Amino acid sequence: MTDYDTVSADVEHEKEIPEDHPRYQDLLTRHRIEKGVEKGITHLQGMHAEGRGSAFDYLLGEETIPSADEAERAAAAHLLLAERPVLSINGNVAALVPGEMVELAEATGADLEVNLFNRTPERIEAIADHLREHGAADVKGLEADARIPNLDHQRAKVDEDGIYAADVVLVPLEDGDRAEALDEMAKTEIVIDLNPLSRSPQVADVPIVDNIIRAVPNVTAHARELADADESELEAIVEEFDREAALEEAEERIRSGEL
């Protein structure tokens, strides 16, 4: 039997965290964010964002609820139907699911693009290198030769042949005003956010209210399952997804779920 009192969140490698620990996923995400800060990938503000997400995940029961799985399947269908899908990567995403994002890109034919609120050349290069270490062949976002309209600050900078030209964009753990600006560009937005009431999922075409460490592998699994589906089947999945119902179910689980 594991002595949980001897398990510290301050570990050198995530393999030291026992998988049968009742808060395993929470300890895992905390560890990855801390390591991300140490590597210069994640900004210190990312720790606060992760803390907020952790609280909502706790209220959701730290599991993928049925409506989230439906959203993840719809997200996979959108990405497979897209002509120019792009997966946006910020510091927390790079720290938490670098290899998983690479696998999702491979399963859907999407590009990976680094986009940061606190943007510096050093952080951009560190994240790009981190993604390459996890198997990425190409990473966009280094040029940042275009801007998202009606959005100030560094996070408006994107690649012209990346997010700017994309028809479908996955923007996990994103700030609300950027999600709104992308929505105004008439892009199909897939958002991963544990707070169903925040602006990002509220404007998303596909709001995924789930922990990113579960959500991204789930979208990849659905994409692989649907790889041989014809266009009409994928379009039916997209059409049948009810974004309002998904948000309502997530809010209801948070408000009334048993802990």
The pLDDT, as a whole number, for residue 4 is 41
**Does the structure show a pLDDT above 60 at 23?**
no
**193 annotated ligand binder:** yes
Q: Which residues, in sequence order, are bridge partners of residue 140? A: 113
**Does the structure show a pLDDT above 70 at 232?**
yes
Q: If you average pLDDT over every residue of the chain, what do you get? A: 86
**218 annotated ligand binder:** no
Task: Give tens-digit pLDDT for 147-156.
Answer: 999 887 777 8
Average pLDDT over residues 50-79: 89
CATH 3.40.50.970 fits 66-254, yes or no: no
**96 annotated ligand binder:** no
Domain coordinates in residue numbering, the chain: 66-254
Average pLDDT over residues 105-127: 92
For the record, the structure tokens of 114 come out as: 């680094």
- Contact between residue 26 and residue 32 where contact means Cβ atoms under 8 Å apart: no
Task: Give tens-digit pLDDT for 205-226.
Answer: 999 999 999 999 999 999 999 9
∠ at Cα 150 (149, 154), nearest 5°?
A: 80
Which of 100, 97, 185 lies closest to 148, judged by CA? 185
**127 annotated ligand binder:** no
Which residue would you say has higher pLDDT here, 14 or 113?
A: 113
pLDDT-based confidence at residue 5 (cuts at 50, 70, 90): very low
∠ at Cα 188 (187, 191), nearest 5°?
A: 115
**199 annotated ligand binder:** yes
229: left (phi over 0), alpha (psi -120 to 50) or beta: beta
Query: pTM for the whole thing?
Result: 0.86
- Contact between residue 170 and residue 190 where contact means Cβ atoms under 8 Å apart: yes
For the record, the structure tokens of 122 come out as: 């050093």
**Does the structure show a pLDDT above 70 at 20?**
no
**230 annotated ligand binder:** no
The pLDDT, as a whole number, for residue 43 is 66
**254 annotated ligand binder:** no
Task: Give tens-digit pLDDT for 132-183.
Answer: 999 999 999 998 999 999 887 777 899 999 999 999 999 998 778 888 999 9
What span, in angstroms and rounded, lies between the C-alpha atoms of 249 and 123? 37
**23 annotated ligand binder:** no
What span, in angstroms and rounded, lies between the C-alpha atoms of 20 and 207? 30
Average pLDDT over residues 190-209: 95
**194 annotated ligand binder:** yes
